């Protein structure tokens, strides 16, 4: 061969050498190909291998996902729920997941995982050839044995398997894993790969990611972990469902100590630190601290609304409840919720006391022997005192055994005749066994709401949501009875009546046509009643006949229109509707009473204040008011901009205050006087429906309104003695007592246009020569009037006539049999004297 000419530049020289050497190699190959059969065979074999490898690569890579998709990947995260004070109260999660950034992970924790899984992570390009070779040897030696080969996967390969490939066990999947790992290394930095891995790796106990596992196994955040705990978490990728189980302690300790030794060998820890950590026990917790308020009915209402707005799973969108990582601020007040739950439960237990066993919660088939798994899969439980849910595994005359979801059995005492094997029941410890407890057969609903905002502060929809998720505070349609009367009176006030207007407490008949004839309303027992009294008296003493007369005076079409405006519901314009014969919910009634206390402004009840996505951006809020100018870069010198008033005006503010002022008399001297000793500015109304089938109380203060009913889910008679005043009002009272620090002593404030006038309580006439006293039954009281509706001055003749009518009514009562249950005219009757049945229908 000739040398290159000296006149060539560098580029020409390179081209000259390439052509010369390539032609020389070609000549050499042709010479060997023609002269040697062995060379020809080897060349063909190598060529086929290259073609086969390329074909295999193309075939494996043809449908692989793009590694660049990881740049936009978002970890599926649960929704975190906060209460009214910002504290976490619950999370909606089917898997435990918490997303952290790489700097959030302690250095030793990262070192533990690298030592356990991939010590050459920072030096390889996605595939560790030495590890892969060892894995191949392990696969060959285990081939046909049924055992699964281990090792060979770098952290990048594991990430490719977790996020992009799945857990199929095959050689082709391993090859795909290697291809993807190389691609991932091209698009992500080593720190980004580790961050994804530490957030996504499954580690047992339904935990995905190291932070979630840290909470599950040690009830700690990763920043609080000790060295031996970090090493334990690093052993979990090999067998995530094994090392945390009972009976595997020695295997877990051996593997943990191996990781510690590798950490020392790799320079992450010293020998002394390794020795100290190796001497520590595993220290696993059986159950992590529950970060959830006992507010199942409230939280389920939040979940239902979130799913309706954002979807349930990742397939429904990026902000789904179980994958979107939402942060939800709710109106849940944990203190008020606890008070509401306990008050309702205590009221139900009081009613149940002495009524015997209420029956089984559910039944399962115990003949197959798998009763423990059946009980566990029922998800029935109870959180009340020391009660537990179990199943009767056998019953033989006076002996029985109770079994629990963990397989334990124990003797059971207190056996009713109807108890049988397979009954799921509640029990409490007694001696070496358990005794039967009775969940009340009666149920009810309780709801408390903020007056000024409409935010629901507490909600209890039954005895325990773990036993029944039917929310009686929002879903149960019940007859409200006399609790609807304030809105009948509001309709009367809007149509010419005043709190001092005289209303007859007498039989009322209405002509219904030739076929039906007259429909007459009378008092309990058929009494036609008697006397004429101020409107206030009718509301304080829950007088049915006076209510019907007021409804007639106002017009039933206007009465039911008032019901509709305050959100109680669409009711028929029948007189029975004025006595509570229609159906509504506790939520609707509480919201309507809150409008009364809020000067007639009605809010949409809400359990969610606002929702943020995983990055903190607000994507939904309940308060949709706009504030023009609130975000000005500089103050323009004008008055501070403010958002408009919340809610809508559903009632004349003056009418609303007049009704509240009269309802204060219900507590002071009416059907709810058992609340008077709370010494708070409370208003409210009791209610009892025919049967009685429902007992109600709704009321509160200028800041908080609450309502409660109790009754059987399938309405039936509660017992003749049951009234709203003696059954429902005590539940409200317990609620207030248990949350006394949340109740203000400030009285209701009258809106503009209301005049407070001294009147005679018996006659409703105006008084000038006396003053109201602190006595609840003072003859002179303050009354609220709209301008120019104040009554005339009371005269001595008015007082004599009123006293004479009172005496005559007492005589009528005595002649009618002396019971006086629903007829009396005396203003000094006992508080429960005329609860009446709430409705005549």
User: Which of 697, 700, 691, 717 lies closest to 832, judged by CA?
Assistant: 697
User: Which of 267, 248, 205, 203 lies closest to 230, judged by CA?
Assistant: 203
State how far the Cα of 203 lies from the Cα of 201, in Å rounded to an integer: 6
User: Which of 688, 776, 686, 693 lies closest to 732, judged by CA?
Assistant: 686
Place of tokens 């499954």: 202
Alpha helices in 494-633 (DSSP H): 535-540, 544-554, 556-565, 586-597
User: Which of 232, 240, 233, 244 lies closest to 210, judged by CA?
Assistant: 233
Q: 322 to each of 95, 209, 289, 315, how far by Cα in Å?
A: 9, 16, 21, 10
How many angstroms separate the first and last alpha carbons of the chain? 121
Report yes or no: 728 and 710 within 8 Å, Cβ to Cβ. Answer: yes
CB-based contacts of 163-168 (< 8 A; 24+ apart in sequence): 163/70, 163/73, 163/196, 163/200, 164/64, 164/65, 164/67, 164/69, 164/70
CA 562 and chain centroid, separation: 32
Report yes or no: 233 and 210 within 8 Å, Cβ to Cβ. Answer: yes
Count of H helices and E strands in the chain? 22, 26
State how far the Cα of 751 lies from the Cα of 654, in Å rounded to an integer: 6
What size, in residues, is the chain?
Answer: 841
Helices 556-565 and 485-493 pack at an angle, to 10 degrees, of 110
How big is the chain by its Cα radius of gyration, in Å? 39
Residues assigned a catalytic role = 117, 482
Residues with Cβ within 8 Å of 9's Cβ and at least 6 positions away in sequence, in order, are: none
State how far the Cα of 235 lies from the Cα of 232, in Å rounded to an integer: 5
CB-based contacts of 306-315 (< 8 A; 24+ apart in sequence): 306/79, 306/92, 306/608, 306/611, 309/611, 309/620, 310/611, 314/76
Is the Cα dihedral 102, 105, 111, 115 positive or negative?
negative
- Count of C-beta atoms within a 10 Å radius of residue 73: 13
State how far the Cα of 328 lies from the Cα of 78, in Å rounded to an integer: 11
State how far the Cα of 63 lies from the Cα of 52, in Å rounded to an integer: 18
How many CA atoms within 13 Å lie on the side-chain side of 639?
Answer: 2
State how far the Cα of 462 lies from the Cα of 361, in Å rounded to an integer: 14
Element containing residue 756 per DSSP (H, E)? strand 755-760
User: Which of 761, 758, 757 lies closest to 828, judged by CA?
Assistant: 761
Q: Tokens standing for 238?
A: 């090999």
Is the Cα dihedral 39, 45, 49, 55 positive or negative?
positive
Report yes or no: 451 and 598 within 8 Å, Cβ to Cβ. Answer: yes
State how far the Cα of 763 lies from the Cα of 502, in Å rounded to an integer: 8
């Amino acid at each position: 061969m000739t040398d290159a000419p000296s006149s060539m530049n560098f580029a020409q020289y390179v081209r000259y050498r390439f052509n010369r050497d390539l032609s020389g190699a070609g000549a050499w190959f042709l010479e060997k190909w023609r002269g040697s059969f062995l060379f020809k065979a080897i060349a063909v074999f190598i060529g086929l291998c290259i073609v086969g490898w390329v074909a295999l690569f193309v075939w494996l890579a043809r449908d692989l996902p793009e590694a660049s998709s990881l740049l936009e990947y978002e970890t599926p995260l649960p929704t975190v729920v906060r209460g009214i004070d910002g504290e976490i109260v619950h999370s909606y999660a089917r898997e435990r997941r918490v997303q952290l950034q790489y700097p959030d992970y302690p250095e030793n924790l990262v070192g533990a995982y690298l030592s356990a899984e991939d010590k050459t992570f920072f030096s390889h390009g996605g595939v560790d050839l030495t590890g892969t070779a060892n894995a191949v040897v392990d696969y060959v030696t285990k081939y046909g044995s049924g055992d699964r080969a281990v090792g060979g996967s770098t952290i990048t390969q594991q990430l490719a398997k977790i996020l992009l490939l799945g857990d199929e066990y095959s050689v082709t999947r391993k090859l795909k894993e290697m291809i993807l790992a190389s691609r991932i290394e091209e698009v992500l930095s080593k720190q980004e790969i580790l961050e994804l891995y530490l957030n996504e790796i499954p580690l047992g106990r339904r935990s995905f990611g190291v932070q979630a596992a840290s909470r599950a196994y040690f009830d700690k955040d990763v920043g609080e972990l000790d060295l031996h705990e970090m090493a334990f978490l690093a052993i979990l990728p090999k067998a995530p469902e094994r090392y945390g189980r009972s009976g595997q302690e020695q295997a877990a300790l051996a593997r943990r100590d191996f990781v510690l030794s590798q950490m020392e060998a790799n320079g992450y820890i010293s020998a002394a630190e390794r020795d100290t950590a190796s001497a520590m026990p595993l220290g696993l917790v059986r159950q992590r601290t529950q970060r959830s308020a006992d507010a199942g009915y409230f939280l389920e209402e939040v979940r239902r609304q979130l799913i309706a707005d954002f979807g349930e799973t990742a397939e429904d969108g990026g902000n789904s409840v179980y994958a979107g990582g939402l942060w939800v601020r709710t109106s849940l007040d944990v203190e008020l919720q606890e008070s509401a739950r306990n008050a309702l439960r205590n009221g139900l237990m009081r009613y149940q006391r002495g009524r015997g066993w209420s029956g089984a919660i559910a039944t399962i088939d115990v003949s197959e022997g798998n009763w423990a798994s059946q009980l566990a899969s029922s998800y029935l439980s109870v959180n009340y005192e020391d009660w537990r849910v179990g199943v009767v595994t056998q019953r033989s005359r006076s002996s029985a055994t109770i079994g629990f979801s963990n397989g334990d059995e124990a003797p059971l005492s207190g056996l009713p005749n109807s108890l049988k094997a397979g009954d799921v029941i509640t029990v409490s410890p007694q001696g070496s066994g358990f005794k039967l407890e009775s969940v009340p057969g009666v149920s009810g609903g309780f709801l408390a709401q903020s007056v000024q905002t409409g935010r629901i502060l507490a909600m209890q929809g039954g005895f325990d949501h773990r036993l029944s998720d039917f929310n009686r505070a929002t879903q149960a349609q019940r007859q409200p009875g006399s609790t609807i009367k304030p809105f009948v009176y509001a309709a009367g006030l809007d149509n010419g009546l005043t709190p001092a207007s005289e209303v007859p407490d007498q039989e009322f008949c209405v002509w219904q046509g030739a076929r039906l004839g007259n429909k007459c309303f009378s008092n309990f027992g058929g009494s036609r009643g008697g006397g004429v009294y101020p409107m206030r008296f009718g509301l304080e003493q829950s007088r049915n006949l006076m209510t019907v007369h007021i409804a007639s005076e106002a017009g039933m079409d206007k009465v039911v229109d008032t019901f509709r405006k305050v959100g109680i519901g669409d009711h028929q314009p029948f007189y029975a509707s004025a006595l509570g014969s229609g159906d509504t919910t506790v939520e609707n009634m509480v919201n309507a009473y809150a409008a009364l206390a809020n000067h007639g402004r009605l809010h949409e009840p809400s359990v969610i204040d606002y929702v943020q996505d995983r990055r903190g951006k607000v994507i939904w809020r309940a308060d949709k008011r706009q504030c023009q100018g609130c975000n000005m870069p500089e103050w323009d010198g004008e008055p501070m901009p403010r958002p408009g008033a919340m809610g809508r005006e559903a009632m004349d503010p003056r009418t609303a205050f007049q009704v509240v002022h009269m309802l204060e008399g219900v507590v002071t001297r009416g059907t709810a006087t058992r609340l008077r000793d709370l010494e708070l500015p409370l208003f409210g109304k009791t209610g009892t429906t025919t049967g009685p089938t429902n007992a109600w109380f709704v009321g509160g203060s200028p800041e908080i309104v609450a309502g409660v009913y109790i009754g059987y889910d399938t309405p039936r008679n509660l017992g003749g003695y049951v009234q709203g005043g003696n059954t429902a009002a005590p539940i409200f009272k317990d609620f207030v007592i248990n949350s006394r620090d949340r109740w203000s002593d400030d009285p209701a404030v009258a809106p503009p246009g209301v005049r407070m006038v001294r009147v005679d309580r018996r006659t409703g006439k105006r008084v000038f020569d006396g003053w109201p006293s602190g006595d609840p039954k003072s003859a002179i009281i303050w009354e609220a009037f709209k301008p120019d509706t104040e009554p005339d001055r009371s005269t001595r003749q008015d007082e004599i006539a009123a006293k004479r009518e009172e005496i005559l009514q007492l005589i009528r009562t005595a002649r009618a049999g002396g019971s006086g249950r629903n007829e009396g005219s005396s203003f000094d009757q006992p508080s429960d004297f005329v609860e009446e049945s709430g409705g005549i229908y």
